[in-house]
Amino acid sequence: MVDILVFHHAQGLTPGMRAFADDLRAAGHVVHMPDLFEGRTFDSIEEGLGYINKIGFEEMRERGVRVADDLPAGLVYAGFSFGVLPAQKLAQTRAGARGALLFYSCLPVTGEWAIGPWPKSVPVQIHGMDKDPIFVSEGDIESARTIVATALDAELFLYPGDQHYFADSSLPSYDAEATALLMTRVRVFLDRV
């Protein structure tokens, strides 16, 4: 059993995000999933990003980081797209991190938005689609490859397709086959950290 702190994507805490957390709970894990948007959900990524921009990306990331203040050390941090911002920061900076699961996004370890090098003691899995225009075209895939090349325990899993939120069962972008494989890989990861 692992304690996991999961951060939702830019469309908010959707039913598909809740279902993902429930699947992990059914496997025996303790899942904390804060609602960083205070009940708001959005019909599109663009609408969600508009809300995040209104509040400020830095403030939204720090909302997530502050959630961890009330939780014990020794967590696995998981983030979906926008949720990677607080998850990756916590995994890289909070003492005692057991691991990180990064879905659809990955921040660089150098340059703008960088938090620094990946910590050697923190295993990480990164998941994305090989033709996702956001994950591939915005440089996330290169950031993921850099982490995999430099970290001691890092895996990058690419799935065939062009959807961004492919593991959210409540959205039209959902890919059941890719999500089943993703969940198998996540369960293996959680069983070994």
Q: Any idea what the CATH number is for the domain that residue 170 is in?
A: 3.40.50.1820
Residues 6+ apart with CB under 8 A from 101: 4, 76, 77, 78, 79, 87, 124, 125, 127, 186, 189
For residue 190, give both structure tokens.
């959680």
- Name the domain count of the chain: 1
The domain in which residue 76 lies consists of: 3-192
Q: What is the mean pLDDT of residues 139-150?
A: 95
134 phi and psi angles, rounded to 5 deg: -80, -50
Contact call for residues 180 and 157 (beta carbons, < 8 A)? no
Q: Per-residue pLDDT for 184 more than 90?
A: yes
Give pLDDT tens digits for 61-84. 999 999 999 999 999 999 999 999
Confidence of residue 112 (pLDDT cuts 50, 70, 90): confident
